[in-house]
Structure 1
């Protein structure tokens, strides 16, 4: 799944991530823009995670960071995303990419 996810970062394709939601206690699917794969800078647990921009959040659009053990599947979609939709900070990505000003 990591390979598909990283490929979608490079191709700027949205992904559908199906994962086990700890909050809901059931599987959920979300359409997301893949942002990065690597450790969380905020979490105490520094294991690598899938970091995505969640377009379908219950609350508002936000970053969804999932440990690999939570992810049930990743489907690369034909829809493209623009990093300008969500990157509002000076990025320091773990996965190198060619996103112009958003790299």
Structure 2
């Protein structure tokens, strides 16, 4: 269920409201840009993770990579985002999308 909403948010370029177990700080809810689902390049275990950009974190915007088990809820908002505002690198996504040059 989470995966379907996540993919929909990517395809429709929707900001999501993510509730997750941060492990260090407990259950948190943040507004996020959905980036991708797949192994993290930062973690050596190569486990499948959801990748987001947190827009309203306590310390500002930051990347978030979490395991599926950490997700409590994904809610779609009615707010759209423009990939050009957030993607500043040549992407190599695991999930296919139609984001033009940011695909």
Q: What TM-score do the two structures reach when normalised by structure 1?
A: 0.94
Moved over 2 A (4+): none
Q: Report Cα offsets for 1:65-103 as digits up to 9, x if no partner.
A: 110011101001111011112111110000011101111
C-alpha distance in structure 1 between counterparts of 2:53 and 2:11, whole Å: 15
2:35 pairs with 1:35: yes
Q: Which runs of 5+ in 1 are unaligned?
A: none
2:89 pairs with 1:97: no
Q: Which runs of 5+ in 2 are unaligned?
A: none
C-alpha distance in structure 2 between counterparts of 1:84 and 1:64, whole Å: 19
2:86 pairs with 1:76: no
Q: What TM-score do the two structures reach when normalised by structure 2?
A: 0.94
The equivalent of 1:15 in structure 2 is: 16
- Residue aligned with 1:65, SS: strand
